[in-house]
Structure 1
Amino acid sequence: MSLPSVNLTERLLEEVQAHRHADYPVSPWILNRWSSRSFSDRAVSDEALHTVLEAARWAPSSSNLQPWRFVVARTREERERFQAFIRPTNRLWTDRAPVLILLASHKLNANGEPNGAHAFDTGAAWGILALQAALLGLSTRAVGGFDREIARRILHVPDDVELHAVVALGYRGEKETLHESFRDREVPNSRRPLADSLIEGAWPDTAP
């Protein structure tokens, strides 16, 4: 599967120029990846979906435990099952996504001991999944607004598995297809300056 053309890269750059400016040089694909809510009716092929998940498979993993799991919903029946635990406000746009992926992780290692890195590793897998999707011209948005207990019950998820987020995946649609409450928000958001997140050497002493 080939990557998008140079022309597409240039178009995407234009899309974010008004909203995103890096403090230091990074790949334009990093800046171009943003979490849109609008999805078109275009289907996601098996090859595209599996390429996105294959990329996530190669995420860094503590002790190579690979705790992540991806519960994929593509058919109408499967997506309706997911809709039963996604919050109504989020369903205003997730219902249009052709693919929904529940990100989960095993909390224990093979010896039944806690894996303190399971959520950290799964977050790394999500980041790579999102970037690979963008490289294929796909959009992703992670949803934390869902009922985890209902999801656990409906999907028969074991107690030793933690549920993190539902990822909507598909090709971007027109913002006019969104519920009016989301249309003005359908733009790339920015980030605070790097300096505001950077701590040199040790946490600053805030004691009086």
Structure 2
Amino acid sequence: MMIETIDIKQAKTRYNVLDVIRKRWSPRSFSKYPLMPEEIETLLEAATWAPSAMNEQPWRFVVASKEDEEKFRKLADFLVPGNRVWAENAAVLMVVFGVTTYARNGKENINVGHDVGMATQNLLLQGVSMDVYGHVMEGFDKDRVIEEFQLPDNIRPLTMLALGRLDVPDLLEEPYYSREQSPRTRRSVEDSVISFPEM
């Protein structure tokens, strides 16, 4: 069942920003409906087209859909309890990694966090256009992920994503139910802009 109060989570913006930006939020209540393989591929394709320094594309993803129970459970096990309690209801879990060095010269890529964030946002906005919503999580055991996947030292886990279609929040426990219902807020544009020093 699709959430009936989705409009309360739309950002109330002062300016006419795109609908997918206004509608993007981080739900915790996901429906039982799966995401089709082509939907997952579409989300990943959107991520692929994010800008990145020197076109390094430093993002990598590990993806598990609910239908692949063993892989899904493995990713869910990395989550801290406060995230796992709701995220394991999602249709898809992902671990998002960043490659911390440039392929061309092996030097440190100081832009990795920014660029992987751009790719993640592409994925999330594409999802909104498809009625698929995502919640980015930092609360997971990164050391266990590193050990489990035995990746090179220059590939490190940054976040996890829970993805799926929305459901009503009624089955969420507190404090998650109240968080799901609360209106979205942001500081003003003016408070995010640093003024030039007086000349």
Same fold (TM over 0.5): yes
**Alpha-carbon distance, 1:64 to partner:** 0.5
Equivalent residues in 2 for 1:1-208 (5 A)?
A: 14-16=7-9, 20-74=11-65, 75-110=68-103, 111-187=105-181, 188-202=183-197
Instruction: Write the letter of the residue equivalent to 1:191.
Output: R
Q: Distance in 1 between matches of 2:90 and 2:53?
A: 32
Question: What amino acid sits opposite 1:86 in the alignment?
Answer: L
Runs of at least 5 residues in structure 2 that lack an aligned partner in the other structure: none
Q: Is residue 104–residue 163 contact of structure 1 (8 Å, CA) maintained in 2?
A: yes
The answer on whether the counterparts of 2:75 and 2:94 sit within 8 Å (CA) in structure 1 is no
Aligned length: 191
1:178 Cα offset (Å): 1.6
TM-score normalised per structure 2: 0.90
1:140-196 CA-partner distances (Å, limit 9, x unpaired) = 000100110011112223221121110000111120122232111103521111111
TM-score (norm 1): 0.86
One-letter code of the match for 1:97?
Answer: A
* Cα distance, 1:29 vs structure 2: 2.0
Q: Which runs of 5+ in 1 are unaligned?
A: 1-10
Stretches of 4+ aligned residues off by more than 6 angstroms: none
CA contact (8 A) 1:62 1:121 kept: yes
Contact 1:23 / 1:193 at 8 angstroms: preserved in 2?
Answer: no
Q: 8 Å contact 1:81–1:154 — kept in the other structure?
A: no
Q: How many angstroms does 1:120 deviate by? A: 1.0
CA deviation string 1:59-93 (max 9, x = no partner): 01111110100111121111111122210111110
By how many angstroms is 1:47 displaced? 1.0
